[in-house]
Amino acid sequence: MLLLVWTPKAWHRLSPLKPPALLWTPGGEALHVRYRLMSRQGPGEASRQSQPQGPGFRTRLLITALFGAGLGGAWLAARAEKEQRRQQQRTEALRQAAVGQGDFSLLDHRGQARCKADFRGHWVLMYFGFTHCPDICPDELEKLVQVVQKLEAEPGLPPVQPIFITVDPERDTVAAMARYVQDFHPRLLGLTGSAEQVAQVSRSYRVYYSAGPKDDDQDYIVDHSIAIYLLSPDGLFTDYYGRAKSAQQIADSVRCHMAAFRSVLR
């Protein structure tokens, strides 16, 4: 005969196999038997506790992320619209300044006659300088070329024609311009002409220039305005960029002008 012994009395219903209880044999030897402690909660309470009490952590996280993305998208759209309006207002103000009005007649570095109408239908980046400039002109032309290359690398954007107009027609002949522009970009177009022709196009774009005194070698420096001009496909002056603007900033601005462009000649 076996005797089952357990304590304390507050234990719940027992089921064999967890944890150990003592069985006594008639010979007084103790045997270990396992039992399982059963909970007193009813089946309804257990079911309610196992059910989720609301959206899980991942669901709440997803909802928060989507809400944040929506706010971020709305902010970016509003910012882009504001920037486009600002760009349009700037463009209109620059047009009213009557910069670049009228035509010009010059020679390119191949000796071919050129006028402003030749570039209609193309975006143009234009810089005024001279080939004997020791540092500023090469730096600005290099920046202009970087802008052109950045825009060329973006599929779908129209090509931009880079132009270099001299303010030193006495030394910058057709041959001198041809030698100079080949060091920058294969499509960089050098324009020169007579003193009167250069003066006319410079006045049109409000470009100041003045030749300094000659030294013993008959060399001299030309003081001049420093700016890169942007012309739209309508041939209209659209924007300008000073030395403080980087190539990336200019490329971003040109891209915005391209996106907002609507021809006024059609």
Whether residue 2 lies inside any domain: the answer is no
Cβ atoms 254, 153 nearer than 8 A:
no
Of the listed ranges 2-6, 149-153, 171-175, 258-262, the one predicted with least confidence: 2-6
Task: Assess whether 90 and 141 both reside in one domain.
Answer: no
**For residue 89, what are the domain limits?**
66-97
Residues shown for the chain: 266
Per-residue pLDDT band for 51 (boundaries 50, 70, 90) equals low
Q: Is residue 18 part of a domain?
A: no
Q: Which residues participate in the annotated binding site for Cu cation?
A: 133, 137, 224
Residue 93's pLDDT band, with cuts at 50, 70 and 90, is low
β-sheet bridge partners, residue 21: 33
Task: Establish if 163 belongs to a structural domain.
Answer: yes
pLDDT mean across residues, the chain: 82
Are residues 115 and 207 both part of a single domain? yes
- C-alpha distances in Å from residue 33, one per residue of 3, 19, 20, 91: 12, 8, 5, 93
Q: Is the pTM of this model over 0.75?
A: no
Neighbours of 126 (CB within 10 A): 24
**Claim to verify: residue 83 and residue 132 sit in the same structural domain:** no
Alpha helices in the chain (DSSP H): 43-50, 57-96, 136-152, 174-181, 195-204, 247-260
For residues 124 and 256, state if they share a domain. Answer: yes
Percent share of the chain, pLDDT over 70 = 73
Task: Average the pLDDT over 229-242 and give the result.
Answer: 95
CB–CB of 245/255 below 8 Å?
Answer: no
Give yes or no for residue 33 having a pLDDT over 50. Answer: no
- Asked whether the beta carbons of 197 and 106 are under 8 A apart, the reply is yes
Residues 78 and 179 occupy one common structural domain: no
Please give the distance of CA 185 from its chain centroid, rounded to a whole number: 24
Residues 206 and 139 in one domain: yes
Please tell me the distance from the alpha carbon of residue 256 to that of residue 49, in angstroms, as a whole number.
59
Helix axes 247-260, 136-152, angle to 10 degrees: 50
For residues 105-128, average pLDDT: 96
* Residues 193 and 76 occupy one common structural domain: no
Residue 19, domain member (yes or no): no
Residue 163 sits in a domain whose CATH number is 3.40.30.10
Look at residue 146 and tell me if it is in a domain.
Answer: yes
Annotated binding-site members: 133, 137, 224
